[in-house]
Structure 1
Amino acid sequence: MGANKKHEATYGGRFTPTTDGIRDIWVDRKLYHLPKSTGIALVPTVQAEFDRWLEQVRAEAKREALEEAAENLQNHPRLRKTQFAWALYPEHMADKEKTFNECADILRNRAEQIRGIQ
């Protein structure tokens, strides 16, 4: 029985590798051609390379999520400018729109900070 079948039988789902497992495969693949004594000395360097890559991927995912949240906030149904709501409550609707836009700006600013870190 393969790893996927064992995991499925035990947990009711397909096997999902861990970050440490993928890091180990990355290191092994990068260093397999070197003599063992040379490769062992380079393990921390190659692990750090993998970790930097993973942090970039995570930062990009965070940035995209923040930008999507900002976009969703500005397009929220409560801000749809219906003639009725704006006619009856123009000041209230303007305040609501300002608040939503300020929140969206905060999310976008954080996304830009994350982009700058990469």
Structure 2
Amino acid sequence: MSAKQTYRSLLRELPRRTLSTPTPLQQRIRELYQRPTTGTTGKAGSAGAAEEEDGVAQRRSAEAAQFAKYAAAQRTYAELVERYNPGMTLEEAERIRLTARRVGWDLPVESEGGKN
């Protein structure tokens, strides 16, 4: 996976914002991808330094791709949990009402303050 594809897949998995300004996490990811990877070790022109930098860049790219896959899997998992447990976020009274409706019952209407 190329750096551009990895970068886009990372941004795709981050939560959406309604504002046009990027989140601090998006800014940090952008900075990491914009930072040049050559010439950072201080060893001018040595073959060992270039190989080391290539190894670091490949390792970071692999880690980023792995994190993008993990984030996509977590998003899918959350969607599946919500789909197969729709009452998970409901209040208890609403969950009981929907359970009764599922088996064909209607709960009696409760009067306010004990008056009919």
Q: Provide TM-score, normalisation by structure 1.
A: 0.44
Q: Which has the higher helix share?
A: 1
Q: Provide TM-score, normalisation by structure 2.
A: 0.44
